[in-house]
Amino acid sequence: IQLTQSPSSLSASVGDRVTITCRASQGISSYLAWYQQKPGNAPKLLIYAASTLQGGVPSRFSGSGSGTDFTLTISSLQPEDFAAYYCQQLNSYPITFGQGTRLEIK
Amino acid sequence: QVQLVESGGGVVQPGRSLRLSCAASGFSFSSYAMQWVRQAPGKGLEWVAVISYDGGDGYADSVRGRFTISRDNSKNTLYLQMNSLRVEDTAVYFCARYEYGDNGRYFHHWGQGTLVTVSS
């Protein structure tokens, strides 16, 4: 199952609302997770089951979607949110990741 | 607290072998499926292999037949035996604990990664 993330990069300012989309090549129910990764670090789980916020993750992060179309929204960007974001499908093997979205400071 | 610590990375020539380890602590290791994920320099995440709590395994096409995932539940350790290494296997390798249940499926806990460089 291929995951296509868009955009591949994004420039935004603190306080902006941003949305990242992830499209699956076939239906994956809600078996989709979102991760944040900062340089030199392991990925950090943000959202699983498409819309469930992982404990400890700020509520400005939200996820939605099911089937083939999913979104990650950050309601008001904070300085610590500038990072790379990846979607991941866990509906079937091989598990696949989107190609990533690099979120940069404008 | 859950901790995963990878080791065994390094520089190796093409065609040679390397074994990575992932030492787990802070949870009942034998009860969880475990995964390996890699990330080539400057690139995205790529799933590599999975092993279930009872030893069933699966692999990405890119490594099947060359890599073997295994576990020693008595030592709380996950392994990745990498044979016939290629330049394109150069990456940071992460181990991760697989959460699989009614609430969903995801990788919550990750190690810090170990760098494998395949170069002549």
pLDDT (tens digit, 9 = 90+) per residue, A16-53? 999 999 999 999 999 999 999 999 999 999 999 999 99
Residue A64 φ then ψ, to 5°: -150, 170
Tell me whether the omega of the peptide bond preceding residue A94 falls within 30 degrees of 0, making it cis: yes
* Chain segment B20-35, per-residue pLDDT in tens: 999 999 999 999 999 9
Confidence (pLDDT) at B101? 85
Indicate if the pLDDT at residue A84 is higher than 90.
Answer: yes
B9 vs A: CB within 8 A: no
Q: How does residue A89 score in pLDDT terms, banded at 50, 70 and 90?
A: very high
Confidence (pLDDT) at A55? 95
Confidence (pLDDT) at B102? 82
Q: Which of A42, A48, A96 sits opposite B106 (nearest CB)?
A: A48
Q: How does residue A81 score in pLDDT terms, banded at 50, 70 and 90?
A: very high
> Which residue of A90, A92, A96, A99 to mutate against B (max B Cβ within 10 Å)?
A90
Cβ burial of B85 (10 Å; 0-12, 13-18, 19+) is buried
Q: With contact defined as beta carbons under 8 Å apart, do A2 and A66 qualify?
A: no
**Which chain B residue shows the shortest CA-CA distance from A84?**
B44
Q: With contact defined as beta carbons under 8 Å apart, do A2 and A96 qualify?
A: yes
Tokens 């590599």 belong to residue? B48
Tokens 């990745």 belong to residue? B80
Give the distance from residue B51's alpha carbon to the nearest chain A alpha carbon, in angstroms.
Answer: 12
CA B51 to each of CA A13, A23, B32, B70, B73: distance values in angstroms, whole numbers, following the listed order: 42, 27, 9, 7, 12
Confidence (pLDDT) at A36? 98
Confidence (pLDDT) at A71? 98
Please compute the mean of the pLDDT values over residues A52-75 and round it to a whole number. 97
Confidence (pLDDT) at B103? 81
* Chain segment B64-120, per-residue pLDDT in tens: 999 999 999 999 999 999 999 999 999 999 999 999 888 889 999 999 999 999 999
> Which residue of B37, B57, B106 to mutate against A (max A Cβ within 10 Å)?
B106
